Structure 1
């Protein structure tokens, strides 16, 4: 197993009994059975590890969406990943420290949407579209965190539909034009 995944598994094991804020690098490396040097060769801090693992979990859903899947299908996959990794995401989304998962999720989603708009239209999104994307991405993260923390009562498909319904009309129109909605 790759050392990064070994450290991620150790982090998840630590999360079962300790909040992310209280987990130490020492705990992670002891659980993983590796050295602090191995940890710091791969990650800046524990939040960097959390963000890296989050990226791996969501990379595939974004790749698929970029290959022709719709936003709805990509969102459903994202929510399925979150459900499978409930412990990890519950702990990760609780923190508001520097380098936290909510901010990282925002950057990842926002950059994904900007890249797909640029790829499909040949130009980067204009200022108004970028501002609408910012608001939409932050509200999507808020709703995802609420869904997770309140026990994931709605099915993934229903949450995806709600997020699409909440999309600003200008984004909805643009995403339809570029065939991702």
Structure 2
């Protein structure tokens, strides 16, 4: 519980700092000063500021998914996650503006692909997915995540419900079935 509260304090400080400056200008030292913590405390919880941004994304994603019961279906849960993110679109626009090697886009992409792989393995009982399945998962993820980033930046005009419908309708059947059957949407670290 205390560990989560510490993470929340760093998240709140980062969000405040992003009102004043781009993510590229945020320094861990300054985050720690705002929280009243030592740098080792930050590094106990996060690798760097991008890891903190990734944690915020995962927290929001799961919080949105958790608002809807698993039996409501993938589209409803996806819509809830997108709604949660849209409520905080000012934060995400600033986070997505960063194009560094450790950017949030890269993290979300990795998170999404890993989540798909794990759901399929759990559903099929396989230890490994096929190359074709990996290709299909990545194709779905790259298109979906790229479009979601454009939506978050305000470049796409759609509601969370429309975007969720598009994402689930175009998802490979085996992947949609795995998510529906397992209810797996990743673990929050």
The structure-2 alpha-carbon separation of the partners of 1:34 and 1:154, relative to structure 1 and needing over 3 Å to count, comes to: same
CA distance in 2, matches of 1:69, 1:93: 30
CA distance in 1, matches of 2:72, 2:82: 15
Q: Note if contact 1:80-1:156 (Cα within 8 Å) is conserved in structure 2.
A: yes
Q: Residue in 1 aligned with 2:75?
A: 72
Match of 1:103 among 103, 106, 110: 106
Equivalent position SS for 1:180: helix
TM-score normalised according to structure 1 size? 0.85
Q: Note if contact 2:120-2:179 (Cα within 8 Å) is conserved in structure 1.
A: no
TM-aligned CA deviation for residue 132 of structure 1? 1.1
Aligned residues: 177
Where does the alignment leave 5 or more consecutive residues of structure 2 unmatched?
182-189
Q: Note if contact 1:71-1:180 (Cα within 8 Å) is conserved in structure 2.
A: yes
Match of 2:122 among 106, 111, 119: 119
Instruction: Please tell me the root mean square deviation across aligned C-alpha atoms, in Å.
Output: 2.5
TM-aligned CA deviation for residue 9 of structure 1? 0.3
Q: Note if contact 2:74-2:179 (Cα within 8 Å) is conserved in structure 1.
A: no
TM-score normalised according to structure 2 size? 0.82
CA distance in 1, matches of 2:92, 2:28: 19
| More deviation, 138-147/148-157 | 148-157
TM-aligned CA deviation for residue 149 of structure 1? 0.6
CA distance in 1, matches of 2:107, 2:68: 19
Match of 1:132 among 132, 136, 159: 136
Q: Residue in 2 aligned with 1:34?
A: 37
Q: Residue in 1 aligned with 2:157?
A: 153
Q: Residue in 2 aligned with 1:57?
A: 60
Could you list the per-position Cα deviations for residues 54-75 of structure 1 after superposition, in whole angstroms to 9, with x for gaps in the alignment?
A: 1222234567899445221221
Where does the alignment leave 5 or more consecutive residues of structure 1 unmatched?
none
